[in-house]
Amino acid sequence: MIPVTKPYFPSREKLDKYIDGIYERQWLTNNGQLVQELTKRLEDYLGVENLLLVSNGTLALQIAYRALGVSDAAPSAQPEAITTPFTFIATASSLKWDGVQPVFADIDPNTWCLNPDNIEAAITPNTRAIVPVHVFGNACDVEAIEAIAQKYKLKVIYDASHAFGVKYKGESLLKHGDAATLSFHATKLFHTGEGGAIIFKHKEELERAKKMINFGITGPECIEELGINAKMNELQAAMGLCVLDEIEANLNARHTIWERYARELAGLVQLQKRSDDLSYNAAYFPIVFKSEQEVVRVADLLKDNGILARRYFFPSLEIVEFLDQKEMQPYSKNIASRILCLPIYAALEKSEQEGIINVIKSHMRLE
């Protein structure tokens, strides 16, 4: 069976050397040597400052909300944050979990990112933040969102889980917003098995977050913040260092696969419109069909041929009951009903990819 994605496994020999060092130092967590090394190397590679490693991408979002005051308790009303319904559930559920009501605004039907034109109408006196998503690594309209945030004095936290290494206008896309969060889950382009990171605009928020991820503890007998355990451990960092060593080979393989899909399927399906001045990371290959019925047929046909594709993102999150939404978001619902992500990972063989393409083309010929 060809999976929709597969973790990148780096050199076992190199990983063993890092693990040997962990055994020698007898230091497994609490800002160990490898966590410190990975922090510095990621800042250098990504071209960012104020990067904080954490144990997963969902906690990255929650710590960012806390560090920026988005989820601070309000005596009279529940805080709100405007976000997109076309995203992974963690973007919205992390807000809800932290006491912030997500308020959805619809997406652009071509880029699939949060449409800035829909944000202002969703702002209320309780709005604390905007939480856009760089969907599949595509850049949001960061300038328009920043202008709205400044006008209404709102924080901006980007869910940049898909945007590792992406550059916009020659600089890291992760520099935009008051914070940008990354997921280093095993299936991501860059991973630490499980893990995540937050890139803060300002160092003071970074320093506050450092306390938060270690229970608020700042010394043997000093607790300064309400905190939680969100630290990355040394074994996660070891995996991350090995994956980072081989990131260019991983990227090159993904780009080859992405470009072959784009070339062979051009005109047959709808592709995401990428933002201008964007250097893409080829992390995903989503396609949109003419109808939901067609998506289901193609997904079933691929499965019959030993290929797992994924309806991702599906469903559009405004229909999830516990998120307490009242309004439908038509563009998000429409794209979510027709989208399918095809297998893409460095180890995908050319012959396997050709088989995937042939199944889709054969379906199109029958239509």
pLDDT tens across 62-82, in order?
Answer: 999 999 999 886 667 899 999
pLDDT tens across 247-304, in order?
Answer: 999 999 999 999 999 999 999 999 999 988 999 999 999 999 999 999 999 999 999 9
Per-residue confidence (pLDDT) for residue 278, from 0 to 100: 95
What predicted TM-score, i.e. pTM, was given to this entire model? 0.96
Residue 168 β-bridge partners: 171, 278
Per-residue confidence (pLDDT) for residue 75, from 0 to 100: 67
All CATH 3.40.640.10 domain ranges in the chain, comma separated: 12-106+113-244
Per-residue confidence (pLDDT) for residue 73, from 0 to 100: 66
Per-residue confidence (pLDDT) for residue 76, from 0 to 100: 74
All CATH 3.90.1150.10 domain ranges in the chain, comma separated: 247-366
Measured CA angle at 276 (ends 39, 337), to 5 deg: 90
- 169 catalytic? Reply is no
pLDDT tens across 337-349, in order?
Answer: 999 999 999 999 9
Can you tell me whether residue 244 is helix, strand or coil? Answer: helix
Could you tell me where the beta strands, DSSP code E, fall in the chain? 51-54, 80-83, 101-104, 127-131, 155-159, 167-168, 171-172, 179-183, 196-200, 217-219, 222-223, 278-279, 286-288, 339-341
| Residue 342 exposed, middle or buried by CB count within 10 Å (0-12, 13-18, 19+) | buried
Instruction: Name the active-site residue from 155, 167, 175, 188.
Output: 188
Q: Which residues of the chain have pLDDT under 70?
A: 73-75, 365-367
CATH of domain 12-106+113-244: 3.40.640.10
Which has the closest alpha carbon to 45: 174, 213, 201, 141? 174
Per-residue confidence (pLDDT) for residue 367, from 0 to 100: 60
- Contact yes or no for 212/66 (Cβ under 8 A): yes
Superfamily name and number for 247-366: Aspartate Aminotransferase, domain 1 (3.90.1150.10)
